[in-house]
Chains A and B, each alone.
Chain A
Amino acid sequence: DQQVKQNSPSLSVQEGRISILNCDYTNSMFDYFLWYKKYPAEGPTFLISISSIKDKNEDGRFTVFLNKSAKHLSLHIVPSQPGDSAVYFCAATVFQGAQKLVFGQGTRLTINP
C-alpha cells in the first residue's frame, strides 16, 4: 500500500531548462509535504516543504506546488543546473504526536550540459 508515489523513475533535462518532478499521494490526512534530494552514497538532504494550507512555496530556484483536490504535488527547478543531478524523494506526513515521513520511491534527475 504505497501512499506516496513518484511514477517517473527518471527524468533527463537540458541545463538551463525547467525540471518538473511529480508526486501523487492517496492519504487525505497528510498535511505536510517535503522534497528531499539525494546524491549517491549520501543520505537524503532536505530541499523544500509545503503545508497543506498553501498551494505554492518558493525558495530560490525551487518551487513546490500542491493541488490538494488532485492529491498531487510537483517540484519545479528553474533554471536546472548540472549540480541538480540527483535522486529526488517526495515525502508526506501528518503529525500525530510523532513525525512519521512516508516517502515515494524517488525520481532520478539528470541534467545534461
Chain B
Amino acid sequence: DTAVSQTPKYLVTQMGNDKSIKCEQNLGHDTMYWYKQDSKKFLKIMFSYNNKELIINETVPNRFSPKSPDKAHLNLHINSLELGDSAVYFCASSWAGGIYEQYFGPGTRLTVT
C-alpha cells in the first residue's frame, strides 16, 4: 500500500532509445509532479498536473512528454534519450489549491549509455 509508487526503479538504456517511467498515487491527491535530481543532487521540478491538466511546464526539452490518463497516474515518456538525461526522476503528489506537503515516490534511476 505504497502511497506514491514508480516503475521501474532502475532503467539502463542506450542513447537514442525511447523510454517511459510510470507513477501512481493512492492518496486521492489531485496534483502530481515530476522532478529531476541531477548529478549535482539538485532536485528540480519538470512538470505538474492538476486533474489531468498541465499546470507547470518548466524549461524541459520537448523530448520529455508527461501524460496523465487520470488524476492518480502521471507517466513520463522520454524520446531520443541522451547521456545528459541520466539522473534520478522523482514523482510526487499533493492536494491542490494551496501550499501542501508533497509526497514523493522512491525515484527511478535512469542511466543512459
A residues lining the B interface (CB < 8 Å): 2, 32, 34, 36, 41-46, 49, 51, 87, 89, 93, 95, 97-103, 105-106
Given the contacts A44-B43, A105-B41, A100 and B48 also touching, CB distance less than 8 Å: yes
Residue contact A99 to B100, C-beta cutoff 8 Å: yes
Task: Assess the A46–B41 pair: CB atoms within 8 A.
Answer: no
> What is the distance, in angstroms, from B4's C-beta to the closest C-beta of chain A?
7
Q: How far is the CA of A101 from the CA of B101 in the complex (A)?
A: 10
**Which of A32, A34, A44, A105 contacts B40, CB < 8 Å?**
A105
B41 CB contacts on chain A under 8 angstroms: 87, 105-106
Q: Which residues of A contact B101 (CB under 8 A)?
A: 34, 46, 49
Least Cβ–Cβ distance between B103 and chain A, in angstroms: 7
Can you pick out 26 interface pairs between chain A and chain B where the beta carbons lie within 8 Å of each other?
A41-B106, A41-B107, A42-B106, A43-B4, A43-B104, A44-B43, A44-B90, A44-B104, A45-B104, A46-B101, A46-B102, A46-B103, A51-B99, A87-B41, A89-B43, A95-B98, A95-B99, A98-B50, A98-B56, A99-B31, A99-B98, A99-B100, A100-B48, A101-B45, A105-B40, A105-B42
Q: How many angstroms between the C-alpha atoms of A106 and B44 in the bound complex? A: 12
Q: Verify if B66 is at the interface (C-beta below 8 Å from A).
A: no
**Smallest distance from the beta carbon of B102 to chain A beta carbons, Å?**
7
* Interface residues of B, count at CB 8 A: 26
Residues of B within 8 A of A (CB): 4, 31, 40-45, 48, 50, 55-56, 90, 92, 94, 96, 98-107
- Decide: A32 and B99 in contact? CB cutoff 8 A: yes
Q: Which of A43, A45, A89, A99 contacts B99 (CB 8 A)?
A: A99
User: How many angstroms from the CA of A79 to the CA of B92 in the assembled complex?
Assistant: 30
Give A32 to B94 CA distance when docked, in angstroms: 15
A105 to B44 alpha-carbon distance, docked (Å): 10
Do B56 and A103 have beta carbons less than 8 Å apart? Answer: no
Q: Indicate whether A43 sits within 8 Å of B106 (C-beta atoms), given known contacts A34-B101, A99-B31.
A: yes
Q: Which residues of A contact B42 (CB under 8 A)?
A: 2, 103, 105
Query: Nearest CB to that of B44 among chain A residues?
Result: A103
Q: CB distance A103 to B102 under 8 Å?
A: no
